[in-house]
Chains A and B, each alone.
Chain A
Amino acid sequence: MADKVLMKGNEAIAEAAIAAGCRFYFGYPITPQTEIAAYMAKQMPKIGGTFLQAESEIAAINMVYGVSSAGKRVMTSSSSPGISLKGEGLSYIAGADLPALVVNVQRGGPGLGGIQPSQSDYFQATKGGGHGDYRMIVLAPASVQEMADLTIKGFELADQYRMTSMILADGTMGQMMEPVSLDYGEPKTFEKPWAVTGTKMQRPHNVVNSLYLVPEELERINFERYEKYKQVEENEVRFESYQMDDAEICIVAFGIAARVSKNAIASAREKGIKVGMIRPITLWPFPKKPLCEAADKVKAFVSVELSMGQMIEDVELATRCKKPVLLCNRAGGMIPTVEDVLASIEKANGEGGAF
């Protein structure tokens, strides 16, 4: 039996980042993700790493840019309002094709909002947030173990594709405690011949930059970058298919919403309703194919979200509106209950394709 420890989701992210070889953390405290910074502050000095509480979120993300330019694994973390502040830096990192791991443990918004869990930064994470044409790999953990596993995976994908991986968690995932196995072995690393590590007068300078003086060149870089994104879409889609074999209703949910939904599925099946779930683990790239295939089998979808309905747009696009998609949601830091989800399942089952 692997030796397990009892961890908060936030701690699991920090510990997994260290296991992945990350030795640079820059951040600024904000509830509900402060445990990541606190853990790094305690651990980094013991292992020769750097923890730095920056003067702001903006400073922290630009420190990430700097360390990443030098080819080292680096991360920052924050919660919703802090991620908004990092928006400019995220765009510059994308424009310079730098790998980075950014964690957003979401809280209720907009504005200062509240400190209770939320998923209302879905648009910000998957559609942009910063300016310009760019994508981030967006990973959505639904357990403390996945907080750790996807952090490791996030670093690997970031290095492999030279782009940002974002862990899009919610306050519940950050705060809840569960047993975790942290048996990872040697981290997988990637050559970084593009990094600015000093030429030793033996090679031309590497340049890390997002400014292009000639528009044709900027256009070419954008098209090349989107070729890379296409590869990510082809190779890196992750999702969990749960009780979908005979399902007539398909729930789509991630993070804490998926956990509540699993309980609702059990209750619905006791009542004889055939319901399953497709749980996106990558929110970008979104699992379009399995959803499109499911649309030919089920009679309706239910998108369960801690937002006013953001992922539902991607569900409708992925399923090409072949079947109705209901929204089951709470907002402002509230979490849909099993009863909420069950009511939506019953509604979808009763009305089928009629609405």
Chain B
Amino acid sequence: MDQKRITLLAGHYGSGKTNIAVNLAFRLKETVDRVTIADIDIVNPYFRTKDSQKELEAAGIRLICSEYANSNLDIPALPDALYSIIDDRGQTAIVDIGGDDRGALALGRFAPGILEENDFEMLMVINRYRPLTRKPEDLLAIRREIEIAGSIPFTGIVNNSNLGVETTKEDVLRSLPFARAASELLGLPVKMTTVEERLYKALEGSIENLFPLRLQHKIN
């Protein structure tokens, strides 16, 4: 994938954005010196990039995240350091956006700067095994809502179709026609298909742009 300076991950609630964001940051760090991962989730106080704080810092990846993430203070706070993503063009950034249009609202304030620079990828994470996005048509409404709230148009799709720990190779293969149909309907290319690490070997070669995911551990 042609690497843009800013990669934005948005999509339906619970589609897997945060986990993909963290994995993309680690992958990016292999080839790029200054990598930043930014968490602008204002919807969900749990399952945050901060769960991987130690690993990210150890790898030399900068994490910008509300200091209240994973705490008992359940407020939609954004740290001021987020503006550096737009202003400091020497870094390559992955931005994890909260679910649905509510989550994308937080993107709106950064949209003018991102659009002006015009070096971004806005990826829609999809999972056909989530109950409210089982048909490609379901994604039309989600796309419209997120684009209105976030003021940035999508440029591609990440097919993250999975059933959690029960996901089989067949489940992933069965999701490919869904992803293709979604791609046609939305007029967006499928940039990658993500699978849990344990399934990667079995699927390697049979799916274009396959990307292995290491699951984040929930810290308590």
| Interface contact B166-A31, CB-CB below 8 Å | no
Q: CB-defined interface of B138-153 with A at 8 Å, one 1/0 digit per residue?
A: 0000000000000000
Q: Check B194 for interface membership: any CB of A closer than 8 A.
A: no
| A116 cross-chain contacts in B, Cβ below 8 A | 72
A127 vs B162: C-alpha distance in the bound complex, in angstroms?
41
Q: Check B130 for interface membership: any CB of A closer than 8 A.
A: yes
For the side of the interface on A, what is the size category?
A: 20 to 34
| B162 cross-chain contacts in A, Cβ below 8 A | 6
| B47 cross-chain contacts in A, Cβ below 8 A | 175
Q: With contacts A6-B163, A15-B131, A175-B47 known, what are 9 further pairs, Cβ within 8 A?
A: A5-B134, A6-B129, A6-B131, A8-B14, A42-B132, A177-B14, A177-B164, A179-B129, A335-B220
A32 vs B14: C-alpha distance in the bound complex, in angstroms?
15
Q: Check B83 for interface membership: any CB of A closer than 8 A.
A: no
Top 9 nearest A-B pairs (CB, nearest first) are: A114-B72, A179-B163, A6-B129, A5-B131, A179-B166, A31-B74, A115-B74, A6-B163, A175-B46
A163 vs B173: C-alpha distance in the bound complex, in angstroms?
47
| A177 cross-chain contacts in B, Cβ below 8 A | 14, 164
A11 vs B74: C-alpha distance in the bound complex, in angstroms?
20
List 13 A–B pairs whose Cβ atoms lie within 8 Å, in order of A's numbering: A5-B129, A6-B130, A7-B130, A7-B131, A11-B131, A31-B45, A31-B74, A113-B72, A115-B74, A175-B46, A177-B14, A179-B164, A179-B165
| Interface contact A333-B14, CB-CB below 8 Å | no
A115 vs B48: C-alpha distance in the bound complex, in angstroms?
14
The residue among B13, B134, B220 with the most chain A CB atoms within 10 A of its own CB is B220
What is the chain B residue whose CB lies nearest that of A175? B46
Tell me how far the C-beta of A152 lies from the nearest C-beta in chain B, rounded to whole angstroms. Answer: 16
Q: Check B193 for interface membership: any CB of A closer than 8 A.
A: no
| Interface contact B46-A334, CB-CB below 8 Å | no
A72 vs B41: C-alpha distance in the bound complex, in angstroms?
38
A175 vs B70: C-alpha distance in the bound complex, in angstroms?
13
| Interface contact A6-B127, CB-CB below 8 Å | yes
| Interface contact B72-A115, CB-CB below 8 Å | yes
Task: List B residues 57-103 near A (Cβ within 8 Å).
Answer: 72, 74
Interface residues in chain B, defined as those with a beta carbon under 8 Å from any beta carbon in chain A: 13-14, 45-47, 72, 74, 127, 129-132, 134, 162-166, 220
| B14 cross-chain contacts in A, Cβ below 8 A | 6, 8, 11, 177
| B134 cross-chain contacts in A, Cβ below 8 A | 5
Q: Check A178 for interface membership: any CB of B closer than 8 A.
A: yes
| B165 cross-chain contacts in A, Cβ below 8 A | 178-179
| B129 cross-chain contacts in A, Cβ below 8 A | 4-6, 179
| Interface contact A115-B166, CB-CB below 8 Å | no
What is the chain B residue whose CB lies nearest that of A39? B132
A8 vs B13: C-alpha distance in the bound complex, in angstroms?
10
Tell me how far the C-beta of A343 lies from the nearest C-beta in chain B, rounded to whole angstroms. Answer: 17
| Interface contact A178-B164, CB-CB below 8 Å | yes
What is the chain B residue whose CB lies nearest that of A335? B220
Task: List A residues 137-154 near B (Cβ within 8 Å).
Answer: none
Tell me how far the C-beta of A177 lies from the nearest C-beta in chain B, rounded to whole angstroms. Answer: 6
What is the chain B residue whose CB lies nearest that of A180? B131
Tell me how far the C-beta of A5 lies from the nearest C-beta in chain B, rounded to whole angstroms. Answer: 5
What is the chain B residue whose CB lies nearest that of A332? B72
What is the chain A residue whose CB lies nearest that of B134? A5
Q: CB-defined interface of A154-189 with B at 8 Å, one 1/0 digit per residue?
A: 000000000000000000000101110010000000
| B127 cross-chain contacts in A, Cβ below 8 A | 6
Q: CB-defined interface of A1-39 with B at 8 Å, one 1/0 digit per residue?
A: 000111110010001000000000000000110010010
What is the chain A residue whose CB lies nearest that of B129? A6
What is the chain B residue whose CB lies nearest that of A333? B72
A44 vs B118: C-alpha distance in the bound complex, in angstroms?
40
A273 vs B87: C-alpha distance in the bound complex, in angstroms?
61
Tell me how far the C-beta of B207 lies from the nearest C-beta in chain A, rounded to whole angstroms. Answer: 19
Tell me how far the C-beta of B51 lies from the nearest C-beta in chain A, rounded to whole angstroms. Answer: 13
What is the chain B residue whose CB lies nearest that of A42? B132
What is the chain A residue whose CB lies nearest that of B131? A5
| B13 cross-chain contacts in A, Cβ below 8 A | 35, 38
